Each structure stands twice: as structure tokens, then as C-alpha cells.
Amino acid sequence: MRHRTVLLILAAIAAASLNVEAKKEIKPLFAQETIEIDGHLNEESWSQTQVIDDFTQQFPDEGQLPTERTEVRMLYNTEKLYIGFECYDSEAEKIVANEMRRDGQLWQNDNVYIMLDTYGDKRQCFFFRTNALGALSDTAVTDGGENLNGSWDCIWEAAGQQHEKGWTVEIAIPFNQLRFKKEDSMVWGINFGRNIARLNQTTQWIQVPRSQSWPGTYHPIYQGKLIGLQGVASPSYFDVKPYLLGGLGRNLVDEDVENWQRTTEGDIGLDMKYGVTSNLTLDLTLNTDFAQVEADQEEVNLTRFSLYFPERRDFFLEGSGLFAFGAGIGDFGPPPLSIFYSRRIGIEEEKEVRLLGGGKLTGKVGAYSVGALNMTTAASSEIPMANFSVLRMQRNILSDSTLGFILTNRQSDFGGDYHRNAGIDLFFRPHDQWRMRAMTVGSWSPDPEERDLAWYLSNNWRNKHFRVNASYLDIGPQFTSEMGFMHRRDIRSLMLNTNYETQVNRYGIRDVGAGFSGGYLLDHEHTTIGWDIGISADMIRYSDDGLSIDFRRFFDRVDEPFSIDDAEIPAGDYEMNQVSLRGFTESSRPFSVFGRLDYGDYFHGNRIGVSLDSQWRMTYQLAIETRYQRNWINLPETDLFTTNVVGARISYALNTRFFTKLYTQWNANAERASANFLLNYIYRPGSDFYLVYDQAWDTSDGLKAHDWTVLSKFTYLFSL
């Protein structure tokens, strides 16, 4: 009887799931004429197709009509989907348009976006954003909007034009860049949005609740229907992209002696993409190269745990959301446990390892999303040849939930030295404001000391004012994940985060909020090894400037001594207090700043930390970003010591297809400075020329050149 009651409750929850799909439809016109992407909607077909203009505010006045009118039109032919936006503005001279970089921060400009759910299953979608300059930003969305891959790059076009009544943008998206189930007459999910920067106003065709904030715009459950697509060419295709690489370098062989070694580099490689079906894509790579990758951001690690660095390599980025599996997936910040962390492939002990080649199959078959990856790395004098494999599958269940599994395998020298993980996970969304996750995963290898289990449960609920997130993570004392990432094992972690926000609209203040967070950490012998408790408050003004303050008290048990710079933190139990003050200015202004001040205990001493980030868009082509972090740490047995990290990025865009970027950094504690220059010219869609210069200096005794490399890379896309 009890089991029947539980089943009835779950069935009632599923049946009561909020259907947020609006009864709105748009039917594009089949264009007989050639559409030129120039930002002018002057072809006759644009005047003949359906016009939609019934947008609604999400922010700041939820549910109200927009203050400025927006019109959207759609066309298509057998090869491309066309979208035209007419964005009227009564103060056209105040339009914010100062970003031209590919995948730049367009959300800080006046911009428009399109969400395309090509399967109509409300679980994954393609997201395209552009501004009045026609700059491009695209995102692949999975897990119902929980996983965003902003590094995914689609081959598409956009052009914008500003005029006395506002601005216009024209967009073309090739069908062969999308994945969908081909039918005689297709129905896709779709949504449109517009952001007006100076008003901090966000509007949508299908309204996203304000409680969902900006992440909600990526959730495909908020969609109308795109109907009537007929005679569309199959997205099955075969793309071949060879590359040619050449360069010079100089490396310091002996740190104590001025012993330099000059090197020359020349290489060729190949990337291939084959549309097996309209739903499945096969990617192959031979002699993979990542010369155009920007350097990692320098960090000072004030903990005894490894830092998490994001993936930047294109081959691993495409379809990466499908391979996401672990605890904290979809949350902001590094996950406490991720079973597949692609940076484990090709990077060993902070050194690049040659990638001989591999392949990846991703896509959708019926109700199943599938992903398979295999990659082989070369052997060196210190590291044996290794093979990395991942198999991932998810099954759609109920109206908006998934059940899946993952299997990973790392094999060295193709012998008996292996390490494997296997697990299952559930993502359950009974309501658009309620999300639950569950995961269990095991590890095994020839070593019995590496066989154990980990499991995770989380519950996230929100409404207009409240947000509550609770989770439990259990990682066994012998659990390992050599293809993944985790902070520590042998833990049982219980976390609770709550937040309350409300609109004030008085005294120049728009919103205020307050939060509470708490956590408790045990090992598997039921010994307390950590806890923390904190309260916070924040305020945002009409201008979108903001201020927040956070008080935190926490406990940490250090089992073994560890070093920070020249200081040693002894083993012991530490109770600490910390206060943090954060402030920021509205990001759409030409000059914006984010600052943070931390003060409090640091184990058996104390710490003051300051960080300051700024962004100055001098023109729509030139931007300068700076970053500064400094810590003053005082420990009883050492003199006061400091840590410093300084960085600056200068970006220049000649147009939306020609970019340059200079990224300089200095890490005083690592006694290292570096400069990374990148020039990227997209001379035709999908084909690039790169020029890369890397320089490193040793700063332990002045500024001494350590090594440098200059590389050029040429790619050409053949579509067969």
C-alpha cells in the first residue's frame, strides 16, 4: 500500500507539471529569391512573411509590455533559415553597440537572440545572439538549459544596421549546422528575445519568469512553435578541415646556465565531420593541434586542493554538455566531482602530450541522446602511450526529465594498467521551478585500493522570491577518477543554500536580497572534518550597480601539513571567520569595474585579500580588460608575505571576422610572467588563419626571458 501511495504521488507530480509552452506559432515563408545578409530587410520576401511583435517584459517590469517595439520575421529555403529583427528605439542615439568579437560579451550590448529547439523535446537547443554590429555569439544547450557550452561555434552569418528609428539585424543559419529529425513538415520549438542595455530591459516572445533570471532564457521549456518547414535539405554532410602549422621557438634547457635550444616546428593534421544521419554526427581528428588556444588564467592557490581550469580546445568543447556527469553539474563554479574532465587528455603534469588522433560520435536516436569518444595520446620518455574512452547515453523520460549512464576507461600501453568509472544519473524536473538530480558511480582498476563508490542527491526549488538548494555528496575513501576531477575523497558532504530577493523600487534601489548557506563535512569514520555557515545581503540599484556583503564562519581539519609559498600550514583543527565585501558597476557602460575585499582568519593566521577587475571598451573595436589580485597573509612563524597576480587583455576587432588579442600575466608567487598574442582571420566561413606568439619570463631575479614560440596555422574547410 505504501509503495502504491508513493507511485500515485509521483504520478500526480508528473501530471501536474506546468506546461509553459505558449500557444504561439510562427510560420516562415519559403523564399524564392536570394537573400543577401547585409542588415537591410529590403528583399520582397521579407514584406510578405508573417510578422510577430507581441513581446513581453521579463525584466524589470515582469509581464508588462515593452517600452520599445520589436518585430521579427522569418524566411527559409532548402539550405538556410533566415531571421530578421526590426528593433525600434525612440532614443536611437543611446543604443549600446561596442562589441565585435566572436563570442564576446554581447549581453552587455543592445542585442537580440534566437533559441531553436530543433527536436522539440524541451531538453536541448541551439542559442544564437547578435547585436547592432552583427557580432556573433552562439551556445549549445543541453540538460534542459542546465549545461551551457558557449565555446561551441556554428558557421552562420549576421549583419546589423543602425538607423534613426533604431536598428535592424539579418541572420542566416545553415540547416547543415543544426541537428534535427528530418520530416516532410517539421515542428521546432523557438523563442526570441531582445535586451535594451540602457534600460536594463529584457523582453521575450514567450515570457521567461523573472525568477529564472538570465539562465532561464536558455531553458527550452519556454518556447512557441516554428511550423511549416518543408523541403529542407538533409543535414547529412561530410566536412574536411586540414591544417598546416609552422613556427619557431627557443627554450631554456638548463635553468642555471644560459643554455638555449632553438626549435623549428612544422606539422599537418586533419579534422573531419560527417553527418551520419540528420541526428548523428561523427567527428574524427588526426594529429590534433591546439596552437590557437589562449593561455590559462593565472591563479594563486591558497588551499591544499587542485584548481579547476576550463576546457578551451574545440574538439572537446563541441558536444561537451552531453558528456557532463557528476556532482554540482550545471551549477556555477567548479564541480566537486566530475567523472569526465577532458583536460585529463593531452595534458600531463601541466605539459602538453601529443594527440595522435581520435573520434567522437554525438547525437540523438529517438528518445536517446548518445555520445562516444575515443582518443589516443603519444608516448614520451616519461609518459606511456594512453587511450581514453567515454560512452554516454541519456533517455528522455516523462515530460522533461532524463535517465542516463556513463562509462569511462583510461588504458596505458593498451595493457593491464587501466582505470574505469561507470555510473547512472537521473535528472528529474516535475515543474519548471523544481529540479532534482541523483547520481551514483563506481571506480575500479587492477589495484583493489582504487575500487569504491560515490553518490549524489540534490534538490533545487525556486519561486518569485525564494531559492533553495540542498545537496548530499558521498565519495568513498578509495574512490578514484583518473579521467575526472574531484577536490577530495572520503567525504560525506551536506550543503544547504537559500536566498530571498524582492523588488524595492525606492530610494534609487531596485532589488534587495538576503541569503543563508551552510555545510557539514564528515569522513567515513563519522569524524567531523569541516563545516561552514554564512549569511549574506545584496542590493542592486536602478542603474544596475550593485553591492553585497557576506559573513562566514567555518571549520577545517588539516590532516597533513601543506605549503603556501614559503610558509607551511601545520596539521590541526582550525575555526575561522571571514567577511567579504563585493561591488560592481553596470556592465554595459564603456567602463565597468568589479571589486572584492576579503578580511579574516587564515588557518592560524589572518589574511586580507583584494581583487579588482575592470573592462574598458574604448571603441566598438578596441577593449582593454585588467585583473589584479593581492593577498596579505600573516602567520605566526613567518614574516608577512604577499601574493600578487596581475593580468591584462587587449582586444581589437577590425570587423566581425578579423580579431587580435594580447593577453599578459604576472604571477609573483610562481615567479612567472607571460604574454600570449593571438591573431585570427576568418577569411571564409569555417576557414581560419591564426598567428600565435607566446613568451615566458622568469621573474625570480629581475625579468629574464625563459622561452618563446611563434606559430602560424592555416585551416581550410572543404564541404563535400
CB 452 within 8 A of CB 476: yes
Name the band, by pLDDT with cuts 50, 70 and 90, for residue 67: very high
Name the band, by pLDDT with cuts 50, 70 and 90, for residue 72: very high
What distance in Å separates the CA atoms of residue 160 and residue 37, rounded to the nearest whole number? 9
The C-alpha cell that represents 456 in the structure block: 549524489
Q: Is the pLDDT of residue 553 over 70?
A: yes
Name the band, by pLDDT with cuts 50, 70 and 90, for residue 22: low
**Nearest-5° Cα angle at 452, 449 to 457:** 155
Name the band, by pLDDT with cuts 50, 70 and 90, for residue 254: low
What is the predicted pLDDT for the residue at 567? 77
CB 689 within 8 A of CB 659: no
Three-class SS state of 181: coil
Name the band, by pLDDT with cuts 50, 70 and 90, for residue 256: low
What average pLDDT does this structure show over 560-584?
89
Q: Is the pLDDT of residue 18 over 70?
A: no
What distance in Å separates the CA atoms of residue 69 and residue 422, rounded to the nearest whole number? 52
> How does DSSP assign 280-340, residue by residue?
EEEEEEEEE--TTPPPPPP----SSS--------HHHHTTGGGG--EESTTSSS--SEES-
What distance in Å separates the CA atoms of residue 262 and residue 246, rounded to the nearest whole number? 14
Q: What is the pLDDT of residues 677-712, one digit of tens each?
A: 999 999 988 899 999 999 988 888 778 777 888 999
Nearest to 361 by CA among 419, 396, 322: 322
Kindly state the helix (H) or strand (E) to which residue 194 belongs, with its residue range.
Answer: strand 185-196
Q: What is the pLDDT of residues 167-208, one digit of tens each?
A: 999 999 998 888 888 777 889 999 999 999 988 899 999 999
CB 360 within 8 A of CB 315: yes
Name the band, by pLDDT with cuts 50, 70 and 90, for residue 260: low
Name the band, by pLDDT with cuts 50, 70 and 90, for residue 415: low
Q: Out of 12-21, 156-165, 655-664, pick the least confident.
A: 12-21
What average pLDDT does this structure show over 243-268?
74
What is the predicted pLDDT for the residue at 151? 74
478-507 per-residue burial string, b: 16 or more CB within 10 A, e: under 16: bbbbbbbbbbbbbbbbebebebebebeeee
What is the predicted pLDDT for the residue at 6? 43
What is the predicted pLDDT for the residue at 3? 47
Q: What is the pLDDT of residues 84-136, one digit of tens each?
A: 999 999 999 999 998 888 888 888 899 999 999 998 888 889 999 999 999 99
Share of the chain above pLDDT 70, in %: 93
